[in-house]
Amino acid sequence: MSRMSSHLPRHVAVIMDGNGRWAKARLLPRAQGHRKGLESLHEIVEAAAELGVEALTVFAFSSENWRRPEREVRLLMELFASGLEKWTPQLVDAGVRIRIVGDRSRFSESLLRQIEASETATKAGTAMTLSIAANYGGRWDIVEAAKQLLAQGRPLTEEHLTEALSVSDVDLMIRTGGECRLSNFMLWQTSYAEIFFSDKLWPDFDREALKEALTWYTQRERRFGRTSEQLSHTERKTEPKPN
């Protein structure tokens, strides 16, 4: 049985899956599922910040999602822009900094302006960093980081590549919707992440579900290639000595 760990994950990443299936199960248009999913995102961002998570990265739109029907893609882009506009003032008040990570080359001018406005307005936030991965792919991220290093004339090392990626290493990855795959999300950064798969569809994933995932994480034993005995020895060495 794993030992309890009192620390929360510093960086949590979420694959928000199941909006369409949530709507279909209720005989609703897929658009309703995406709108409800946006409400769930707002709740989870608020809860994560309150619970002490330092960084939250959510997978909003993958580079493969452009293959979806044009009408659905257009709706997702509209929800993206309107969501940023609506929630930015609240993020400012909560001290949450927002970052958009991914390839922005296919975004409209109006969406790009909203992204810039939201990032600028929240840049002083220190309570939590919210990264929204949009038109993002894990392979794209690795390739772009490698190209950046080559352009700078820096050696292509594991350390340098990690630094050049758009988002830092993940401690806890959550995927909703019952699927058990990474779907090309943060492939490098999740190499040692604890992965929590939830059967809940994203619109049903709420504050209590997030707490469940965080509690599960605290029960994990993160060895990073070492043995349990080595970890116990290290912990004993770092325990404070009695007066």
Question: What digits encode the pLDDT tens for the residues 157-212?
Answer: 999 999 999 999 999 999 999 999 999 999 999 999 999 999 999 999 999 999 99
Per-residue pLDDT, 137: 96
Predicted confidence band of residue 229 (pLDDT cuts 50, 70, 90): low
Answer yes or no: are the C-beta atoms of 20 and 36 closer than 8 Å: no
Per-residue pLDDT, 6: 55
If phi over 0 gives left and psi between -120 and 50 gives alpha, with beta otherwise, what is residue 137? beta
CA 125 to each of CA 42, 102, 118, 122, 209: distance values in angstroms, whole numbers, following the listed order: 17, 21, 12, 6, 26
Mean pLDDT of 81-98: 96
pTM of the entire structure?
0.88
Helix ranges restricted to H, 65-108: 70-94
Answer yes or no: are the C-beta atoms of 68 and 188 closer than 8 Å: no
Whether residue 140 has pLDDT greater than 50 = yes
CA dihedral 124, 160, 57, 92 (to 10 degrees): 0
Q: Within 10 A of 99 (CB to CB), how many other CB atoms are there?
A: 18
Strands (E), the chain: 11-15, 55-62, 96-101, 128-136, 172-175, 194-197
Whether residue 11 has pLDDT greater than 90 = yes
The rounded distance, in Å, linking the Cα atoms of 6 and 162 is 27
Whether residue 135 has pLDDT greater than 70 = yes
As annotated, the active-site residues are: 17, 65
